[in-house]
């Protein structure tokens, strides 16, 4: 079982334009779509599409459109009922693949709701293989919320605690790493990798593999088990105690990059729970991310839509590809 937690889920609306976005003008959309989203929800949707045993945990009242959408899509979930409606996010895609996102802040959660959400995660993660903590935090939650979740799960379950993957940004990301709650797998993009380590800038880390590997290695020294760094069109890096690898897919026609990183994380987890070694976990991550970018909106790919055989994986340091790495 792979559990995902999305503290700030959303109803994701995607609007496709036939011409570049023109500020201040009136434009007609050529297509639109609506899907339940938020990073953890996207990961769960991709895992479900890949045939994994998975469960999404999120706040929201029973008839919220986000939950209705998950039910319609057949994605298993457990929700913590709250009174306020969940947020909506709008994505605008242009013909060349340029993506503009407008994200609402989401409903505020109070202390009691935050504690109840943590209790729900602790209860449902008993016996799980992985727990994925992903996405932004809604108003009302302290920046150390993810750190609190990690500590609660590990304290309650001890050696039986699931492996924990974290995909967050800004204060929530920093608080988790600095708060003694380092995950078994961290999935930053280039900008977040730079933010955590102070090395380079986001764009430079996409282009400078050695610097990106150094940044990821520093995070291993701070207790992180493994770093899966997505680098946009430059592929992805995986750095563990056993070695470092870079993987890249041949160029694709990008339709929407929304959720591509979430699908990459799902691809990694699908491969890992299937017993794959480090290079093949990275291979499937890049295959999933590339497939997602070639699909409209925040659509997630099924396994048959990914092309792992097309992905080139290169070892950057000597590696022991044990299938037991995180």
Given a contact cutoff of 8 angstroms between Cβ atoms, the answer to whether 30 and 16 are in contact is: yes
What's the pLDDT at 326? Answer: 60
Interior/surface letters 19-48, b for 16+ CB within 10 angstroms, e for the rest: eeeeeeeeeeeeeeeebbbbbbbbbbbbbb
pLDDT at position 297 over 80: no
Count Cα neighbours of 230 within 13 Å in the Cβ-side half-sphere: 28
Q: What is the pLDDT averaged over residues 278-302?
A: 93
Q: What is the pLDDT confidence band of residue 269, given thresholds at 50, 70 and 90?
A: very high
Segment 169-203, tens digit of pLDDT? 889 999 998 888 899 999 999 889 988 888 876 55
Which of 166-170, 207-211, 221-225, 298-302 has the least mean pLDDT?
A: 207-211
Domain 2-21+28-315 CATH (choose: 3.40.50.2300, 1.10.3720.10, 3.40.1190.20, 3.40.50.1950): 3.40.1190.20
What's the pLDDT at 92? Answer: 92
What span, in angstroms and rounded, lies between the C-alpha atoms of 317 and 280? 16
Q: What is the pLDDT confidence band of residue 98, given thresholds at 50, 70 and 90?
A: confident
Given a contact cutoff of 8 angstroms between Cβ atoms, the answer to whether 176 and 168 are in contact is: yes
Q: What is the pLDDT confidence band of residue 317, given thresholds at 50, 70 and 90?
A: low
What's the pLDDT at 201? Answer: 66
Q: What percent of the chain shows pLDDT beyond 90?
A: 77
Taking the model in full, what pTM does it have?
Answer: 0.91
pLDDT at position 26 over 70: yes
In degrees and rounded to multiples of 5, residue 294 shows phi and psi of -90, 0
């Amino acid at each position: 079982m792979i559990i995902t937690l999305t503290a700030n889920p959303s109803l994701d609306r995607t609007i496709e334009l036939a011409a570049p976005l023109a500020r201040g003008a009136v434009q007609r959309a050529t297509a639109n779509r609506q899907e339940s989203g938020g990073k953890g929800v996207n990961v769960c949707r991709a895992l479900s599409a890949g045939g994994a045993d998975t469960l999404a945990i999120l706040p929201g009242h029973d008839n919220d459109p986000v939950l209705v959408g998950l039910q319609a899509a057949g994605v298993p979930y457990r929700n913590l009922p709250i009174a306020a409606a969940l947020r909506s996010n709008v994505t605008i895609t242009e013909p060349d693949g340029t993506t503009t996102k407008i994200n609402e802040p989401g409903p505020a959660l109070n202390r009691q709701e935050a504690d109840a959400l943590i209790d729900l995660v602790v209860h449902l993660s008993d016996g799980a293989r992985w727990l994925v903590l992903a996405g932004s935090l809604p108003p009302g939650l302290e920046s150390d919320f993810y750190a609190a979740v990690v500590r609660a799960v590990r304290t309650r379950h001890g050696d039986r605690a699931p492996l924990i993957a974290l995909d967050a940004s800004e204060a929530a990301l920093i608080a988790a790493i600095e708060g003694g709650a380092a995950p078994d797998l961290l999935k930053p993009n280039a900008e977040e990798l730079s933010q955590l380590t102070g090395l380079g800038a986001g764009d430079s880390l996409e282009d400078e593999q050695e610097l990106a590997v150094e940044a990821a290695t520093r995070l291993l020294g701070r207790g992180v088990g493994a770093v899966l760094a997505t680098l946009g069109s430059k592929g992805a890096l995986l750095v563990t105690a056993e070695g470092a690898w870079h993987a890249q897919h041949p160029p694709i026609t990008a339709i929407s990059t929304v959720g591509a990183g979430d699908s990459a994380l799902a691809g990694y987890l699908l491969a890992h729970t299937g017993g794959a070694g480090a290079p093949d976990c990275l291979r499937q991550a890049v295959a999933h991310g590339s497939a997602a970018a070639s699909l409209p909106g925040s659509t997630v790919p099924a396994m048959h839509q990914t092309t792992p055989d097309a992905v080139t994986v290169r070892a950057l340091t000597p590696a022991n590809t044990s299938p037991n790495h995180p």
